[in-house]
Structure formats: C-alpha cells, structure tokens
C-alpha cells in the first residue's frame, strides 16, 4: 500500500490544519483556537455509518475503518493518509503534516500556527466512517475522533471533544493530499 504525503488539518481540539482558523482541533473542524487554513468540508453520503471494524488489510496504524468505507477502492490510500495526519498532530511533526497538504493548503499554513493549534492535542479513537467522490477523482473522507487538549487550547474550553470531520482530498502520485474544504464547511464537535 502506498503512503500518501498529505498535510492533515485537525479539528476539534486535535487537528485543524485544513480550516482557516480551527480551534484546538482538527483540520477545518477546529475545536480550540488553533491555527488553520482552509477548513475541510463535510459531505453527506448515502452510506450509513457501519460499525467500525479494524482492517489490517487496509493500513496499519491507529485509524479504524468502518465496513462501508473499507469497501471503497481508495480506502488503503485514504487510511494511510489519515494515519500520517493523526500521527503528525500527536507528535507535533509539522514537516509530516505539511507533506499531506496540497500546494494551496501548504501556502496557507505555517509551522507557528500548526504548533499553536496542536501544542497540547492528543487525538484518539480515529475512525474513517465514509469515503465519497466529489468528482474528478477527488474525494471526501469523513472521520470521527476524540481530541484531548488543554482547555485553553480547545475550541470551547473543554479538555475533551468528539469530532466529526470531513477532509477533502485530491489525487497526488499514488495517493491523495488534503485540499481546502468547500466554502462554508464546518466540522461538528461536542464535549466528551
């Protein structure tokens, strides 16, 4: 399986790089006052979320793949990207994070905003719930996760947020990278 270089945006106290200003969270899903660039958008799908089941055939890492998402041919590449994304956030590795973004997202992001946005973030329970086409080979990958962070770094001053975030992906090489979310996209979150 190929490893995709993609900068991941974190939303909800854990990751937020794809949002123009995501608070302590993930890309375009910002839970705290985290720096962000273009927020990822959420796309409705007709696939009902399936019970998450680990799929070692898809990709090793912490991201669990729901059965409906695992059926998508792009699941291995998307899962690899998500594993890198969450690893980059949890290890505060800007270089890895930035490598997961397309050129537009990289230009809108910087190490200082990444550091400020994820300085206390730890994301867990990552589940790829769906993958849908947005046309032209582009995808929308919806992921749920829990973000724990210092309340001061949270989008709502909570030490724990549960997020539902959609990352928008474009093909690059044998995988995908994260691109800006559609205008008006907002991830959803709630306190744990």
**So what's the pLDDT on residue 60?**
54
Tell me the domains of the chain and their CATH numbers: 52-191 (3.10.450.50)
What average pLDDT score do residues 13-19 get? 37
What average pLDDT score do residues 25-39 get? 36
Per-range mean pLDDT, top range of 1-5, 49-53, 128-132: 128-132
CA–CA separation, 137 vs 127, rounded Å? Answer: 22
Q: pLDDT (tens digit, 9 = 90+) per residue, 47-95?
A: 333 333 333 333 357 899 999 999 999 999 999 999 999 999 999 999 9
What one-character-per-residue DSSP string does 80-148 give?
Answer: HHHHHHHHHHHTT-HHHHHTTB-HHHHHH--HHHHHHHHTT-EEEEEEEEEEEEEETTEEEEEEEEEEE
**CA 114 and chain centroid, separation:** 14
């Amino acid at each position: 399986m190929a490893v995709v270089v993609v900068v991941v945006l974190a939303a909800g106290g854990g990751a937020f790089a794809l949002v123009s200003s995501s608070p302590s969270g993930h890309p375009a899903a910002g839970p705290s006052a985290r720096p962000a660039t273009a927020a990822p958008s959420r796309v409705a799908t007709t696939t009902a979320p399936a019970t998450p089941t680990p799929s070692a055939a898809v990709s090793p890492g912490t991201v669990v793949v729901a059965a409906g998402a695992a059926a998508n041919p792009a699941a291995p590449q998307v899962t690899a990207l998500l594993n890198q994304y969450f690893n980059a956030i949890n290890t505060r590795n800007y270089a890895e994070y930035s490598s997961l973004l397309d050129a537009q997202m990289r230009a809108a992001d910087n190490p200082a905003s990444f550091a400020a946005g994820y300085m206390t973030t730890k994301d867990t329970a990552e589940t790829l719930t769906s993958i849908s086409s947005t046309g032209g080979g582009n995808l929308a990958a919806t992921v749920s996760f829990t973000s724990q962070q210092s309340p001061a770094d949270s989008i709502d001053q909570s030490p724990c947020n549960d997020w539902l975030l959609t990352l928008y992906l474009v093909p690059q090489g044998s995988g995908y990278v994260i691109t800006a979310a559609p205008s008006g996209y907002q991830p959803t979150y709630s306190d744990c």
